[in-house]
A and B are shown apart, each in its own frame.
Chain A
Amino acid sequence: MADQRDFEHIEQSLRTGASLVDWPPTARQLAPRVVATLDQPVARRRPSPRWALAAAIVLVLSAVMLLSPRARQAVADLFEIAGVRFGITSEEPTSGSVLDLGEAVDLADLGDLAGFVPRRPSALGDPDEAFFDDSGIVWMVWKGADSLPAADDSGVSWLLGQFVDDGRIVGLKTLGPGVEAIDVSVGGRLGFWITGNPHAFTYIDSGNELKEDSTRLAANVLLWSEAGINYRLETTDDDFTRALEIAESLDP
């Protein structure tokens, strides 16, 4: 009972204290400012269904615009997106069998650890596992289900990595034989869909040490950046439209 009384007293103090906090004054002009911003043509961001349909067509078109090996070679040296630099190799890469994503953590703790709020794709629901690695990347993992193929060894079907886009390159992806890089639009932003044979991935960790990682889901990766955060969606599913649906279903 003493505990309960103590807690009630603390609760009451916090509630009373709310009236003593130096809150920001309510901005009477906030609503007109928001409306004025939304009414500007460039700020009118709500897509109409017609716009969305057009965007879908554009996406399908862009999905078939595969870069030729020559074009890929030309692009590769300049090719940096979502904190990943791409390179070309003529060697066949290998893929491992164990995902090394850092420390397993509670999903609820990801935000505190990352320093930003990781977004969840509603199209996949809550992840089965969450990890935080020492390069500052948060990972959400969805394991194989009846409707999704699981990676042979890891049992993982979808993997979403998120990290702050602070200009550093945290990864080096090597495009080898049989790997295609496709420029795509993810919610209107440039992205890349990497598909084909397994491709190796090398991280640069927080200590600037190269960390070999040949354990990715290997086949298909969608990369894009949005509002200062880099996203990487990896999957065993070859269906690009499904990957896009998931990428565009992130929490606002």
Chain B
Amino acid sequence: MEGRPLEKDIEIEPANEQKLIARSRDGDTNAFGTLVAMHQEIALRVAHVVVRDHAEAEDVAQDAFIKAFAALDRFRAGSPFRPWLLRIVRNEALNRIRRRRRQERLALRVASEAVVASGDAASSPEAAAVLADEIRPVFRALDAISVRHRSVLIHRFVLGLSEEETATVLAIPRGTVKSRTARALAALRTELEGETDG
């Protein structure tokens, strides 16, 4: 399970998802359970990016789903559910760590310490190790850039969210996602060049 690419647990048509949302809004908790199953994996990852702890990420995701259920009246019918949900997850995670804000700022490493050689990503343990060696400097550089730049790169590329989804989750305009991504990539490249020169 660990280290594998993100995949949906349940594939569902958008129209059916909206029906599940409508039923959930009417109080059907089983319908909401299906929505949880659909989105739990990406929700856990969004939480983990912030709290960097498996058990805490699970607690965050669970609480966020419960809050989302309570907030369904404020969900605009027909709009994308996933970014709306993930914003609640991220808010919940950020609120959890606000008392250790300083540590989070310094230690939001996400992947640099967690990159592991995984059989899912390569054909052999050796190939995985080589791949990890190539990737590791990029994630190390990711640690060195600003929180704002890091957040947008993680959500766009590591979590694989669209620009629009990233905008919703980070609560910034879509145009800002675009411009900040460009600046973040430049900052990351500069960091990588410094690492190579050093």
Q: Which residues of chain A have C-beta atoms less than 8 A from B98's C-beta?
A: 114-116, 164, 228
Shortest C-beta distance, B170 to chain A (Å), equals 8
Interface 1/0 per residue, A3-28 and B, CB below 8 Å: 10011001101111111111111110
Interface 1/0 per residue, B63-101 and A, CB below 8 Å: 001111111111000000000000110110011001101
Specify which of B66, B73, B131, B173 is in contact with A34 (CB 8 Å cutoff): B66
Q: Which residues of chain A have C-beta atoms less than 8 A from B182's C-beta?
A: 7
Contact A10 B188 (CB under 8 A): yes
Contact A37 B101 (CB under 8 A): no
The answer, yes or no, to whether A252 is at the interface (CB within 8 Å) is yes
The answer, yes or no, to whether A189 is at the interface (CB within 8 Å) is no
Contact B157 A20 (CB under 8 A): no
Per the bound structure, the CA–CA distance linking A46 and B94 in Å amounts to: 24
Q: Which residues of chain B have C-beta atoms less than 8 A from A47's C-beta?
A: 73
Per the bound structure, the CA–CA distance linking A48 and B115 in Å amounts to: 46
Binding site secondary structure of chain B: helix
Specify which of A11, A24, A48 is in contact with B157 (CB 8 Å cutoff): A11
Q: Which residues of chain B have C-beta atoms less than 8 A from A21's C-beta?
A: 3, 110-111, 114-116, 158
Contact A13 B135 (CB under 8 A): yes
Contact A25 B1 (CB under 8 A): yes
Contacts A/B (CB < 8 Å), 23 sampled: A6-B189, A17-B111, A17-B135, A17-B138, A18-B160, A23-B45, A24-B47, A30-B37, A30-B58, A31-B34, A31-B40, A34-B65, A34-B69, A44-B27, A45-B69, A46-B27, A46-B70, A108-B172, A114-B98, A116-B94, A116-B95, A119-B91, A251-B91
- Residues of A near any B CB (own CB < 8 A): 3, 6-7, 10-11, 13-27, 30-35, 37-39, 43-48, 108-109, 111-112, 114-117, 119-120, 122, 164, 166, 227-229, 249, 251-252
Which are the 8 A-B pairs with shortest beta-carbon distances? A252-B71, A115-B101, A14-B157, A24-B54, A22-B114, A45-B70, A31-B36, A35-B33
